[in-house]
Amino acid sequence: MTAFLLIWSPGKWPWPELPDVARRVAAGVAVTDAWGCGSSRSLIPGDRVFVHRVAQAPRGVFASGYVTRAPYEVPDPTRKRGFRLCIDFVYDWLVDAHESVVVTRDELRAHPFSVQTWDAQSSGTIIKPMAEGALEKLWRERTGHRPRPPLHAA
């Protein structure tokens, strides 16, 4: 399976409803979201995504999920090309990153995670296989095994 990195910078994109969304995911609700994916058009339904908080503490990976809709164009007059690319995905894990993360940025500096550029400028970066395998292993150790949510979640 291919995994991609999504970026959240709270200074650019406030997320006041994050605590509520995290509670819903923790309760087992199949919560879907739309997210920008930079210029990447290679994400397909079923691909794995991890969300990384950047720019402000606590920095690190705090959410995971599965792509439910391949990249699509959303009109955006602030962009040079007039649109931005987004994906839809369903969370399988999400914590309130205003408070904490699952894997800290400091942990991501160590091998084998260090083969990956985690501080990407935009979402949609593919996670290198060596880092992906290690991240999935650590992720399961810390979050447990949760059933994969349906890719057609409403």
Residue 151 covered by a domain: no
At residue 72 the predicted structure's pLDDT band, cuts being 50, 70 and 90, is very high
Residue 65 covered by a domain: yes
Residue 150 covered by a domain: no
Residue 15 covered by a domain: yes
Instruction: Give the three-class secondary structure for 127.
Output: coil
How far, in Å, CA of 9 to CA of 106, rounded?
A: 17
How far, in Å, CA of 52 to CA of 105, rounded?
A: 9
Domain that holds residue 74: 3-143
How far, in Å, CA of 100 to CA of 88, rounded?
A: 24
Give the whole-number percent of the chain exceeding pLDDT 70.
96
Range list of H helices, the chain:
18-26, 105-108, 129-143
Q: What is the DSSP string of 79-112?
A: STTSEEEEEEEEEEEE--TTT--SEEHHHHTSTT
pLDDT (0 to 100) of residue 154: 46
Confirm if 23 and 65 have CB atoms less than 8 A apart: no
pLDDT at 152 over 70: no
Give the total number of structural domains in the chain.
1
Residue 54 covered by a domain: yes
CATH of residue 79's domain is: 3.10.590
Residue 33 covered by a domain: yes
Residue 149 covered by a domain: no
Residue 98 covered by a domain: yes
74-121: pLDDT as tens digits: 887 777 777 889 999 999 999 999 999 999 999 999 999 989 988 877
